[in-house]
Structures are given as C-alpha cells and as structure tokens.
A = this chain, B = another copy of it.
C-alpha cells in the first residue's frame, strides 16, 4: 500500500475481474462477449450532430447543470415516456450514468448508512458506497432475477439511506414488472427511503414494457444515459432526475469535480433524444433469441427481456471463464456481479457470427467440465 493513499481507496475491490482480464488481454483476436457497449459504431444521425456541433463552435464549458435545452428536452421526454412531473430544473446532465451515481453517492452517503442492492448487481453500486463508508446490504433476487420483496421488508430500517434498482438489468437482462416496482415502493414509503433507479438500458427491451418508479414515488432519483441508446459510451453523457434537494447538491459537487458533461456530446444527445433506434433494438432482440436458443439446453438460463446480457448458471463461473479464455473466448465470471460464483455474464452486443462462435465454445467447455 502506497504511503500516500487513504484507507477508503483500499475498500474498492477489483481483484475479481482483474484475473480474468489480465489473461484475456493476452489473446490476439478474441471472441469477445464481455463488452458492455453497443457494437454498431456511431449512429449516423448522432455522428452528424457531433460534426455540426464542432462546426457550430460548441467548444466551451456548459453550465454545470448542462445545456438548458437538453434539460428541457429530457424533462419533456420523461413526462412522455414515464408520466413523470420532473421539471427541467430537476434534471442534471452528468458524465454518463456513472458520473451521476458517483455524485449521488457522494452527496447522500454518511459513514455507516445502509445501502441496499440486489444480487447480482452492477459493481458500481457495491464499490462506490463502500468506499464512502456505507454498509452495502446485498439482498437476493427471485429466480426471475427480480428483487426479493420479503428480503427487502426484513432488511429495511431507519439506517437505510437508499435502495438501488436496475431494470433492464446488468448483468441478468431482467426487466422488473410493475407489481415488483410497486411492492418495492410500498416497503420504502413508510421510511421515505431514497429509491435510485438506474435505467440506462431502458430502450433495450424486447417482450414487455418498461416501468420506472419515477411517476409512482417522489423520493426517486432516476439515473440514465445516452451511452447505450445513442452509442455514446465513449463520450460520457447521461443525467440524473428527481428530488430537487438532492439534485442541487449533486450540481454543486459537479461544479468542483467534472465541471460539466462534454459539450459536443450534450449537443448530440439533445438533437437525437427522440431518435428512432428500433432497427438496433430489433437486431439485439434477434441476437438475444440466437444466444438463448443456442445455450438453453446446456445451461440453466432465465431468458432476458432487456439490456444486452444473458446470465446463465454454469456451475463454477470462474472455472468456465478461465477455460473459455484458453479457447479465445472472453466472458465475465458472475462473481464480478455477485457473491455467488455460479454464473457467467455474456454480452450479446456482438455480431451474430461472433455469438455463434462464442456459444459453441461455451458448449465445448461445458462438455469438457461435465
């Protein structure tokens, strides 16, 4: 441990993923099903907006809250898609949803606060509050990978600062039905607990509708981004919306940290906020069906209804991931997202031929380990 470092940074645990990625980095031309971002390149309309923003000299800082037109447009979209009554003044443009989560946890977390998350979880929810001294309470999910409401009831208390949900879910692809969202709110409501809803995959949904808690519960903070739906992962633009007091504190902190989300990306987000991306979503749905059909007889799998991940139960996730790497396939062992090592996360944000190769390798590995 370096003598200059504080004890907080040591709490961030990256050991699980490092072993696999260190090995994976040695593969020259991998079959890569580990990637958490779209694989189509820039969407042509988005690229056009970026070019125009350069020509329009959008080079300066924006206000730390983000471009006011973008805040207005996001609030209008939330009204349309989620029946929310969030005002433009309650929308903060951030450096991706991760930037929003970072600001959020930093303004709400007191040491020894409890933060409830559900297993499996996106690792940010686990590591960031821990670093800030919170106790992260990891609760189980049902066989559909929905939050276990009975467990939530048993674990909520006055120290619970926030509950974090993520639908469509990374890594499982689960989409929470309305009754689950409402059951969660019923548990939180007597405590006024903050409900953080990470909806970055909301546009990637294949069978059922997407339900957000934003219109049902006033103590909701929505975080989302333009990374996945507009393929702007690398440009770092997203937003948080909801409870004004929390948002104002997040903006104050953003002024002293990120300053503002990148200007060009904000312009591209503004101009393409309501872009029709159904052709991309259809392609992901076909891929979802392809990978599910190829693997469903080999592994125990819940068919994902959203995002672009599938999360099969494979026995020893790390062993299967390591065996797969020997055959040039990169997938992420479940222990990166879970206290359990029984699963794998497979991303189907990859062309169909790559998916077929990957699925065949996984079946080989399963045969060998049987």
* Interface set of A (CB-CB < 8 Å, partner B): 1-9, 12, 14, 37, 41-42, 47, 50-51, 54-55, 57-62, 95-96, 98-99, 102, 106-110, 123-124, 127-128, 131, 161-162, 192, 194, 219, 231-236, 243, 245-246, 248-249, 252-253, 255-265
With A107-B5, A108-B4 as known contacts, state yes or no: A260 contacts B234, CB within 8 Å: yes
**Residues of B with C-beta under 8 A to A257:** 98-99, 102, 128
Query: Which has the most chain B C-beta neighbours within 10 Å: A37, A57, A252, A256?
Result: A256
Q: CA A231 – CA B230 in complex, angstroms?
A: 26
> Contact: B234 with A264, CB < 8 Å?
yes
Identical chains bound together, number: 2
With A2-B245, A42-B54, A57-B41 as known contacts, state yes or no: A262 contacts B259, CB within 8 Å: no
Closest to A50 in B: B54
Ordered by A's residue number, 15 sampled pairs between the chains whose C-beta atoms are within 8 Å are A4-B245, A5-B245, A6-B107, A6-B108, A9-B249, A41-B57, A51-B54, A60-B234, A95-B258, A96-B259, A98-B259, A99-B258, A123-B256, A234-B263, A258-B258
**Residues of B with C-beta under 8 A to A246:** 2, 4-5
Closest CB pairs A-B (n = 3): A2-B245, A234-B263, A102-B257
**Residues of B with C-beta under 8 A to A60:** 37, 233-234
With A51-B51, A98-B257, A127-B256 as known contacts, state yes or no: A61 contacts B233, CB within 8 Å: yes
**Residues of B with C-beta under 8 A to A262:** 234-236, 262, 265
**Residues of B with C-beta under 8 A to A123:** 256
Shortest beta-carbon distance from A95 to chain B in Å: 6
Q: CA A259 – CA B260 in complex, angstroms?
A: 15
With A192-B3, A235-B264 as known contacts, state yes or no: A8 contacts B106, CB within 8 Å: yes
Q: CA A254 – CA B248 in complex, angstroms?
A: 23
Shortest beta-carbon distance from A282 to chain B in Å: 20
Closest to A102 in B: B257
Q: CA A232 – CA B264 in complex, angstroms?
A: 10
Q: CA A194 – CA B95 in complex, angstroms?
A: 29
Shortest beta-carbon distance from A143 to chain B in Å: 29
